Amino acid sequence: MAEIIVAESAGFCFGVKIAVEAAEKAGKEFGGAYTDGPIIHNKQVVSYLEKLNVKELDKNQELKEGDTVLIRSHGVPPAEERRLKEANVNVIDATCPFVKKVHEKVRQLVEEGYYVIIIGEHGHPEVIGTLGHLEESGGRGIVVSNMEELVKNLPRTGKVGVVAQTTQSEDFFREAVGYIAENIEEVKIFNTICDATSVRQEEVKKIAPNVDVMIIIGGKHSGNTNRLAQISRYLNPNTYHIEKADEIDPKWLEGKEKIGISAGASTPDWIINEVVEKVKELTSG
Ligand code: SF4
């Protein structure tokens, strides 16, 4: 059997755990809840929660008084929170405390007169929520998702404040911040990348170059899982991103002696365990 190295940081992060537990509780105690988009980027967990009547709100569906709405760990813009309050629905706020911290930092930067650069993915729900706080506090700023955008859009005068989407790559953050610091006289930086993300990324950087094959488990639409796969692939081309055990092609493991496994923050332990068992089965004998 091949040696299997499972990253200690693999699996649910603190914020996702809170959100999934809140969703389970909503299902069991309130008979269900609506979420604006999938509660986490993991199809298997989403379908488990659907059985508890926790489901995505349909775009054309009107909320009724007494409905329960669960705010996901990504958070929402303040205008959305107000809309929910006005609709008289029960709100369960499962916004991750680390995401709330990004909102606070944005408001602080605006109050202190900084132009705000959000290092993050355009259109990501967390970034939409953060932009909402920027607008609500009367601030000015932009989202940048790569160096090209930053170079093109960085204001040449005034003071600039920086925050990051919690799941951004540390490497891109460092590169972007370095460029801003070189070109702007007054800069205030808050590294709001959450530890859960950086610890996971650092562990993948250690494991991937030292194994024959690296398997990254997590939703294909999960930003943090995609970044883990990207980092791993850069260090080890034999990297495969799967959502569940039955996607493993036995050919990937033929003659391989050391297999590394990690998983995004929205991957539950039971899926990781199934993958470990499958790898054991395919590499024994
Ligand atoms: S990755 Fe970090 S910020 Fe995002 S939900 Fe998990 S703990 Fe919160």
Confirm if 95 and 141 have CB atoms less than 8 A apart: no
Q: What is the tens place of the pLDDT at every residue in 147-168?
A: 999 999 999 889 999 999 998 8
Confirm if 102 and 130 have CB atoms less than 8 A apart: yes
Which residue puts its alpha carbon closest to atom 5 of ligand 1? 15
- Say what the pLDDT of residue 63 is: 87
Pocket of ligand 1 contains residue 240 by CB under 6 Å: no
- Say what the pLDDT of residue 156 is: 83
Residues of the chain with CATH 3.40.50.11270: 14-95
What's the 183 CA to ligand 1 centre distance in angstroms?
Answer: 31
Confidence check: pLDDT of 60 > 90: no
Pocket of ligand 1 contains residue 194 by CB under 6 Å: yes
> Catalytic residue at 126?
yes
Residues of the chain with CATH 3.40.1010.20: 3-11+196-283, 98-193
By 3-state DSSP, what share of the chain in percent is helix, strand and coil, each rounded to 5? Answer: 45, 20, 35
The candidate with the shortest Cα–Cα distance to 210, out of 228, 230, 232, is 232
- Asked whether the whole model's pTM tops 0.85, one would answer no
Residues 6+ positions from 4 with CB-CB distance below 8 Å: 259, 261, 276, 279, 280, 283
| Atom number in ligand 1 closest to CA 16 | 5
Q: Which residue carries 């958070």 as its tokens?
A: 75
- Say what the pLDDT of residue 208 is: 98
The catalytic position among 62, 111, 126, 274 is 126
- CATH class of the structural domain 98-193: alpha beta
Tell me which fold the domain 14-95 belongs to.
Rossmann fold (3.40.50)
Chain-wide mean pLDDT for the chain? Answer: 94
Q: Which residue has the higher pLDDT, 204 or 171?
A: 204
Q: What is the tens place of the pLDDT at every residue in 69-116?
A: 999 999 999 999 998 888 889 999 999 999 999 999 999 999 999 999
Pocket of ligand 1 contains residue 16 by CB under 6 Å: yes
| Atom number in ligand 1 closest to CA 195 | 2
Confidence check: pLDDT of 169 > 90: no
Tell me which fold the domain 3-11+196-283 belongs to.
Cobalt-precorrin-4 Transmethylase; domain 1 (3.40.1010)
Pocket of ligand 1 contains residue 222 by CB under 6 Å: no
Confidence check: pLDDT of 65 > 90: no
Pocket of ligand 1 contains residue 167 by CB under 6 Å: yes
